[in-house]
Each structure stands twice: as C-alpha cells, then as structure tokens.
C-alpha cells in the first residue's frame, strides 16, 4: 500500500464519496431546481475512469467508499462499477462499499447490490406522506420508494433513512418517522438543510430547522441515550430506548464536525472537493486522461489533500442570510 493520505491538520483520509452522475429522477426542492441543466456525456468520467480513481484512493488507505449521485442507480450500466469495485472488498483493501440513493431503483437493483458486496444503503426519505413526498421531490412517487425498501430488506441490506429536517414541511411528522424506522429496523439520520446551489436564500431560511430544536422536540416523547456508534461519517448517534433504534444527527450549521473530517468527495466530472462547504477543488479527470500511468493521478491526489481546509463555513440565519457554495448538492454527491 502507498503512504496514507494525511491532510495539513493531521487527519487521515479514509472515506471517499464518489458521485457517478449529476442526473436524478427526482427534483427535491432543497437539492436542485426543477428545470436543471445536466452535464454533457464527454465531461463525465467513464465507469472505467471512476474505478481507476477510486482504486487509487484505496491504494493510499481509503477504507470506505460510498457511491452517490445525483441518483447513482439511474446511470447506465452502473452495476458494472459495483462489480468491479467489489474486488477490493474481496482482497480486504476496502472495508465497506455503500450507496446513497433516493430508493426509486432499489426494487430493480437491491439483489444485485448485495451480490456485489454492498451490505448497507442510505435511502433519502423526508416524509411518509405521499402528497408531501410528491411536493418535496416534485417528480417522485412514495410507493415506488416503499417497494424499493421492501426489496432491499428482502435482499439482506441494512437500511438507514436520511431525512432532511424541513421546517413547515416534515416537522409535524418527526415522531412518526422515529416510530416507523423503529418498527422496520431502520436507523434514521436527520440532516440540517445545507446552503448549496441557487434555490433562493429566502427558501433556505424558510426551510432551515436546527437539529438542536429537533432533538428537543424528540426528547418530549422519546428517551434518547447517547451512543458511541459510528459509521465513519459525520453523524453523532443516539439510541432510542423505546424502539431500540438509532438516530443520527448531521449538523453542519449548529455544530460542525470538521475537527474529525476524514472525507473527500469526487464529483462525476472528476473534480475532487476536499470540503463539501468550500469551492477549492482538484481536476483529477485531467490527471486520469493525461497518462495511462497512475503516477500523474497519484501526484494530483496528494497535492489536493495538501490543500484540504480546516473546515467549512456554511451560514443560514435571518441576520446574515444564507452563505453558500454555488454548486448544487446533486453535483457534488453530498
């Protein structure tokens, strides 16, 4: 194995999130505009190039690889990438290969994902109300996602539900979400809305529901016990005594998690973002296409990690507005 990747603040990089497409079959209101323009094919890394970049990171100590989008499972022939990356699980070089999905394609692909070595999936689901679901996703159908969750359970996949806390939208059903996840054996992670992409600052301010307030609301009904459970990501977990399930809190605004950041993100064009909340990036597509040798790619990766910042500086409040980065969450892979 090559020397491990260590950033300027002594943090080892063990976790790579790889966006395989900027396209999605939903248009969630906090993620993208309804009338999105997507990238031309020539700008997107091929599946072989995505494998090559991912493998370069694995050689330098990345132990967890998460496939994201857009919606990753809408990319044509995506299972060939999962099958190829599965070799790193077989060799022991990779501890975990996971995927974040909106669930729309799980009925089709759940069994194949398990066969490729995937054991856990994160499913983005913000509401259990079909009308609200249609309003949030614009194009989505809740029953399609529920069918996908059933297929994932039958395939043996562990499921974590990711829900963005949206004031005035899903705040009235937060207890129902906890109960439903407990009944189904799903973990639940709650996420603060992040100021990424142009959907209008007032919309961000209207949506923002701090997780400190969410936790207070949950404690009015549930007994939350602190837990040292971790998945390698930024969530801080508690156990719900009444259900036995877990709730994770991802708080980029009220309590950032930068001091322990072990992650970098590759978008589908090959741009490496060392921080989700900063614009600095490195063009790994150019490195991949410059040479068949991995030396150029390896050098580009190490140079990029040497610029990883200490943390992000997202802001959402009425006085200062919503300080954000210009790119949409769907383009970065979240």
Burial class (CB in 10 A: 0-12, 13-18, 19+), 40: exposed
Question: In the chain, what percentage of residues exceed pLDDT 70?
Answer: 87
Query: Residues within the annotated binding site?
Result: 17, 24, 28, 30-31, 66, 70, 100, 124, 160, 194, 258, 261, 263-265, 275
The answer on pLDDT for 141 being more than 70 is yes
Query: Residues within the annotated binding site for GTP?
Result: 17, 66, 100, 160, 263-265
**Helix-helix angle 106-115:142-155, to 10 degrees:** 20
pLDDT at 131 (0 to 100): 95
- Mean pLDDT score of the chain: 89
Q: Is residue 168 part of a domain?
A: yes
Write down the pTM of the prediction: 0.88
Q: Which residue has the higher pLDDT, 32 or 194?
A: 32
Which residues have a Cβ under 8 Å from the Cβ of 96 and sit 6 or more positions away?
63, 64, 65, 89, 119, 120, 232
Q: Is residue 5 part of a domain?
A: no
Interatomic CA distance for residues 208 and 315, integer angstroms = 11
Q: Is residue 35 part of a domain?
A: yes
Q: Is residue 10 part of a domain?
A: no
Q: Is residue 75 part of a domain?
A: yes
Query: Residues within the annotated binding site for S-adenosyl-L-methionine?
Result: 30, 70, 124, 194
pLDDT at 2 (0 to 100): 75
Give the range of the structural domain holding residue 114, as residue numbers without chain letter. 15-332
Q: pLDDT tens across 236-245, in order? A: 999 999 999 9
Interatomic CA distance for residues 125 and 41, integer angstroms = 29
Q: pLDDT tens across 199-210, in order? A: 444 455 677 888
Q: pLDDT tens across 147-204, in order? A: 999 999 999 999 999 999 988 889 999 999 999 999 999 999 999 886 645 544 445 5
Query: Residues within the annotated binding site for [4Fe-4S] cluster?
Result: 24, 28, 31, 258, 261, 275
Q: Which residue has the higher pLDDT, 230 or 245?
A: 245
Q: Is residue 54 part of a domain?
A: yes
Domain CATH number, residue 71: 3.20.20.70
Q: What is the b/e burial string over 94-104, where b = at least 16 CB atoms within 10 angstroms of the residue's CB?
A: bebbbbbbbbb
Number of domains in the chain: 1
What is the band of 316 on the pLDDT scale with cuts at 50, 70, 90?
very low
What is the band of 309 on the pLDDT scale with cuts at 50, 70, 90?
confident
Q: Is residue 232 part of a domain?
A: yes
pLDDT at 52 (0 to 100): 98
Q: Is residue 9 part of a domain?
A: no
**Choice among 59-63, 103-107, 270-274, 277-281 with the minimum mean pLDDT:** 277-281
Tell me the mean pLDDT in the region 117-129: 97
Looking at residue 140, what DSSP letter applies?
-
Q: Which residue has the higher pLDDT, 144 or 309?
A: 144
């Amino acid at each position: 194995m090559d020397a491990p990747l260590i950033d300027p603040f002594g943090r080892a990089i063990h976790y790579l999130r790889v966006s395989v497409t900027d396209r999605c079959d939903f248009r969630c209101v906090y993620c993208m505009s309804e009338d999105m323009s997507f990238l031309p094919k020539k700008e997107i890394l091929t599946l072989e190039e995505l494998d090559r970049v991912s493998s370069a990171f694995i050689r330098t100590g990345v132990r967890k690889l998460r496939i994201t989008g857009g919606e990753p499972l809408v990319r044509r022939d995506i299972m060939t990438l999962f099958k190829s990356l599965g070799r790193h699980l077989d060799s022991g070089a990779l501890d975990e290969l996971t995927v974040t999905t909106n669930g729309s394609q799980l009925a089709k692909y759940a069994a194949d994902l398990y066969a490729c070595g995937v054991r856990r999936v994160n499913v983005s689901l913000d509401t259990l109300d079909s009308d609200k679901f249609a309003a949030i996703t614009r194009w989505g159908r809740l029953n399609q996602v529920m069918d996908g969750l059933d297929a994932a359970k039958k395939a043996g996949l562990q499921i974590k539900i990711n829900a963005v806390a949206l004031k005035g939208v899903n705040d009235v059903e937060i207890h129902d979400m906890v109960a439903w996840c407990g009944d189904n054996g799903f973990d639940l992670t709650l996420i603060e809305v992040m100021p990424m992409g142009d959907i209008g600052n007032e919309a961000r301010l209207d949506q923002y529901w701090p997780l400190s307030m969410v936790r207070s609301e949950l404690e009015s009904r549930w007994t939350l016990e602190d837990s040292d459970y971790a998945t390698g990501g930024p969530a801080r977990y508690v156990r719900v005594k009444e259900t036995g399930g877990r709730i994770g809190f991802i708080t980029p605004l009220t309590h950032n998690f930068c001091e322990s950041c072990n992650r970098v993100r590759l978008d589908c064009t090959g741009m490496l973002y060392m921080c989700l909340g900063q614009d600095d990036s490195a063009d790994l597509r150019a490195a991949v296409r410059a040479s068949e040798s991995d030396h150029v790619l390896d050098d580009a990766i190490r140079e990029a990690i040497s610029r990883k910042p200490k943390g992000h500086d997202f802001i959402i409040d009425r006085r200062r507005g919503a300080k954000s980065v210009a790119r949409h969450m769907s383009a970065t892979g979240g």
